[in-house]
Chains A and B, each alone.
Chain A
Amino acid sequence: MSQYVLRRLLIAIPSLLGISVVLFVVLALAPGDPFSELATNPNVPPEVQAALRAKFGLDDPIHLRYLHWLNAMLHGDWGFSFVSRMDVDTLILQRLPATLYVIGSAQILALLIAIPVGVYAATKPYSLFDQIANTLAFVGFSLPTFFTGILFILIFSVTLDWLPFVYTTDIKATGIRWMLEMIRQAIMPVAVLGLFQAASMTRFVRSAMLDVIRLDYVTTARAKGLGQATVIVKHVMRNAMIPVVTLIALQMPAVFGGAIVTEQIFRIPGIGSLLISSILSNDTPVVMAVTFVFACLVVLFNLIADVLYGWLDPRISLR
């Protein structure tokens, strides 16, 4: 087992290096220039732009720039933002709490809805409950978040005036009131993201359950006289959860990565909105750092999912 993990980690190194090369080259070849906004300003002479490019090493050949970046990254230096003139890691750490709070809550909400609904629907396939759950799930994942987000804003902020739609990290309250405000402002984004996730996850849980529920050992368990609840929870669910765990594990990087569209709509200062604004302003060090962190997380959670398989189903051996 530990040997397996070690081997996987070793394999991860070349793949991460490969990913970083591809990311770096793509970003370097992409059109645009972090200082392009200066070019349209008649006040700024072209020499300034040239001096800035030289100062931030943008004129070096691409392989040198990559080696600089790699060397710095190995020393724990994530880079220096062109646009904000501060260290990229500070910038990312500033954005992390909001993302973890909102996207994490949305994932939990999605799980809280998807697992009970999916399981219950699978125990009574094609019943009225199943039909309704299915229909809602289809509606849910057919509606994009930018649509439901704006719909929610129109209903709950504009018409009913119940909830704020600008997320603020600077709530002027303490204690319980602060908690309540934090919850209040997160209701809409969490609901938008959570319901969207829940919709597809419900379908997934249901079909995973249906695959297992018809197997012979379930009939055996029932024949032994075990109650419905025990059969479903102890016998069916444990086996049906393997694919669900994969799905959840692979979605974890997304929790850190934020939800670009939803963060933009509700002005949540998360990683997703940092990424999009950095892309728009060609702030390559930030884009590079954020995407590279994603890559690491994807590799890491793939590994975790593989390890979890072995724990959930001892028949799967890790060699």
Chain B
Amino acid sequence: MLDKELRSMIGQVKDGRMDRRAFIKRLAAVGLTAPLANQILALGGVAMAEGPSVYKPTKRGGGGALKLLWWQGPTLLNPHFATGTKDQDGSRLFYEPLACWDPDGNMKLVLASEIPSTQNGLLAADGKSVTWKLKPGVKWHDGKPFSADDVVFTWEYIIDPATAAVTVATYRDITVEKVDDLTVRLTFKKPTPFWADAFVGATGQILPKHLFAEYKGSKSREAPNNLAPVGTGPYKFIEFKPGDLIRGEINKDYHMPNRPYFDTLEMKGGGDAVSAARAVIQTGEYDFGWNIQVEDDVLLRLEKGGKGKTIYAVGGDTEFIALNFTDPNTEVDGEKSSMKTKHPLFSDPAVRKAMSLLVDRDSIKKAIYGRAGRTTANFLNGPEKFVSKNTSWEFSIEKASKILDDAGWKPGADGIREKDGKKLKLLYQTSINGPRQKTQAIVKQACQKAGIDVELKSVVASVFFSSDVANPDTYAKFYADIEMFQIPMSQPDPAQHMRRYHSSNVATKENKWQGTNFPRFVNKDYDAAIDAADGEMDPVKRVALYIKANDILFQETVFIPAQHRLKVEAASNTLRPVISGWANETDNLFDWYREE
């Protein structure tokens, strides 16, 4: 039904009977707005539109200094070597992609002159190729012209295995060719519903061929420009001290009119989130503070009569508790949590159901995340149109107890439930991080009341998230019953995010625990939905498939979402930053300005 309705609406937009804004509003009404709403239109034959610009200044420059505070300073400035988002943020000050994402998940043109669509013929109807038109007259900071050669070279640079570029996954399955000086064509091996990955956003930053051509492959680490970027961006590079400082100045030849606003740029690194919040919100020494993961009551206190405020951006990051489907206490062929075992407690669906009733998401929001969190029943929380409306959550110790009682888990002499000699005792692990330890405490308390004994364990983040094969405490090995963390969603599309839990990706000793399916969840219906969605060009069916996949994760209680987390930044009261939950903080830097 939804399918038909949507199709007729797309038809109306095409004929001009309905305007684009009304269409998006209607989609919102049925729960289908957001970043990819526009891509639905693109695939339905209507061009994707650029998001509205909020930029007000009418001339270039004159804005003085922009002082940014990144409490983890960038340590290198080649976007394709970035070990974390901080490095992408730093590189993005100078390098640019073809397009980026605005706060609503709309595409915003940067170096491209037109958004590809089937209507303008740039997007192939079968989804197997996309053509980008480049803006004419764009110059690198050293004065050399920007052309299709740079785009093609960036692709060659990344896919060379000896370069060891961290962005290779985006580029290795595509072919990039130059059509003319200002046109490139990307060809995909199979129909690609989400074509806006390569050359878009933080991973799409384009390098100048004339400076990197000699440093492709094994010589990549010797390139002098790894530390001194020459890009096309709104600010020109002056100085870089790893981990401490980046300085830039206005690019007077910038290709967007009246931009940029600021004359100089400074990105200072180091310190911690709380004092960064203080330097921006309370004393106003800095204009913008990145990633202010600080307890909400601290922020509220700082904001009282302060010089700045916090700002929030909605993305798809979900803090979740994952349940282990294999037995972490039995060793088979030198491997715990082996696929040959079944979890002694969680193999009973009643126990999993009870667990999800024992996570008090409201308390977690109130006590820990505050304005930076939303409660949710879903694992997939964005883009909006992929968010399932079929799920709900509840916190009830009584109901959990009843489910356990009915399933035959009776309290023993020590108050801990047991059945067939198996006690409901769980090991709950996560990384060391203030909010996570508090969440652990909240869950443990509720479990205790329901007769489940929970032992808490916290592991240093550098170990927990490492891929060290020798270490038993990594999240991928999952030598615990339940574990909690989040996997950031780096693009406004769920494909990558959901594919992780396909049964072919199970983490085992054989693949050195590099499989992404760490709960070792195996479900035929889930696999089928993911496989179908991967090649599905019909946007409506694709949405339905991902919602189905999410609902399977919900019904099977693979993940208990503890919180949908928002990005938190601090900005001075006069700064007008543009922050997207689907992109790096500096992705829309060209649109930042100050208003007294």
Contacts and interface: CB of A to CB of B under 8 A. Distances in A.
B161 A86 contact: no
Interface stretch (B119-127, B251-259, B275-283, B437-445): B275-283
B564 to A, nearest CB: 18
A273 interface: yes
A251 interface: no
B278 A158 contact: yes
Contact of B78 (A31, A85, A161, A281): A85
Contacts of B516: 42
B283 A35 contact: no
A287 to B, nearest CB: 13
A45 B467 contact: no
Interface string A147-187: 00000010001100100111011101000000000000000
27 contacts: A31-B460, A31-B463, A33-B466, A34-B83, A36-B462, A37-B84, A39-B467, A42-B496, A42-B497, A43-B169, A44-B166, A44-B168, A48-B166, A52-B164, A84-B243, A86-B76, A153-B278, A158-B278, A166-B69, A168-B266, A168-B268, A170-B239, A264-B272, A267-B268, A277-B243, A281-B83, A281-B462
B271 A85 contact: no
B465 A37 contact: yes
A84 B242 contact: yes
A233 B168 CA distance: 71
Contact of A37 (B83, B270, B275): B83
Contacts of A80: 221
A40 B83 contact: no
A28 B103 CA distance: 43
Given A83-B242, A86-B227, 13 more contacts: A31-B460, A32-B462, A41-B490, A42-B500, A42-B516, A43-B170, A84-B243, A165-B279, A166-B268, A264-B270, A269-B243, A269-B244, A281-B83
B468 A51 contact: no
Given A42-B487, A164-B285, A166-B285, A265 B463 contact: no
B181 to A, nearest CB: 30
Interface in B153-170: 161-162, 164-170
Nearest to B489: A42
A42 B465 CA distance: 12
B425 interface: no
Interface in A41-77: 41-49, 51-52, 55
A42 B169 CA distance: 9
A44 B82 CA distance: 11
A33 B283 contact: no
A318 interface: no
Nearest to B87: A83
Contact of A267 (B270, B466, B487, B488): B270
B24 to A, nearest CB: 28
A40 B462 contact: no
B388 interface: no
B307 to A, nearest CB: 10
A282 B75 CA distance: 13
B247 interface: yes
B492 to A, nearest CB: 14
A311 to B, nearest CB: 40
Given A42-B490, A273-B270, A282 B462 contact: yes
Given A41-B166, A41-B490, A84-B243, A33 B467 contact: yes
Interface range, B side: 35 or more
Contacts of A205: none
A169 B84 contact: no
B157 to A, nearest CB: 14
A170 B245 contact: yes
B268 A84 contact: no
Interface in B307-366: none
B375 interface: no
A247 interface: no
Contacts of A161: 283
Interface string B454-472: 0000001011011110010
What are the nearest 4 A-B pairs in CB distance?
Answer: A36-B466, A269-B244, A84-B242, A46-B514
B226 interface: yes
Given A37-B83, A166-B279, A43 B462 contact: no
A84 to B, nearest CB: 4
B75 A281 contact: yes
B409 interface: no
Interface range, A side: 35 or more
A127 interface: no
B546 to A, nearest CB: 15
B227 A85 contact: yes
Interface in A85-101: 85-86, 91, 94-95
A9 interface: no
A267 B467 CA distance: 31
B76 A85 contact: yes
Contacts of A52: 164
Given A84-B76, A153-B275, A267-B268, A31 B241 contact: no
A55 B221 contact: yes
A153 B279 CA distance: 10
A44 B466 CA distance: 13
A99 to B, nearest CB: 12
A31 B161 contact: no
A115 interface: no
B286 interface: yes
A274 interface: yes
Given A158-B278, A169-B244, A170-B266, A267 B170 contact: no
A314 B227 CA distance: 54
A81 B241 CA distance: 13
Interface in B67-92: 69, 72, 75-76, 78, 81, 83-84
Contacts of B488: 40-41
B203 interface: yes
Contacts of B465: 36-37, 39-40
A165 B283 CA distance: 9
Contacts of A51: 161-162, 164
Interface in A292-308: none
B85 to A, nearest CB: 9
Contact of A170 (B72, B221, B247): B247
Nearest to B266: A170
A39 B512 CA distance: 12
Given A43-B496, A49-B467, A169 B78 contact: no
Contacts of B471: 31
Nearest to B466: A36
Contacts of A94: 241-242, 244
B83 A35 contact: yes
A281 to B, nearest CB: 7
Interface string A274-294: 100100111000000000000
A91 B242 contact: yes
Interface string A106-137: 00000000000000000000000000000000
A316 interface: no
Residue picked from A40, A158, A265, most chain B C-beta under 10 Å: A40
A166 B512 CA distance: 44
A158 B283 contact: yes
A85 B514 contact: no
Contacts of A13: none
Contacts of B75: 81, 83-84, 277, 281
Contact of B466 (A31, A55, A172, A277): A31
B261 to A, nearest CB: 18
A38 interface: yes
Residue picked from A35, A48, A91, A280, most chain B C-beta under 10 Å: A48
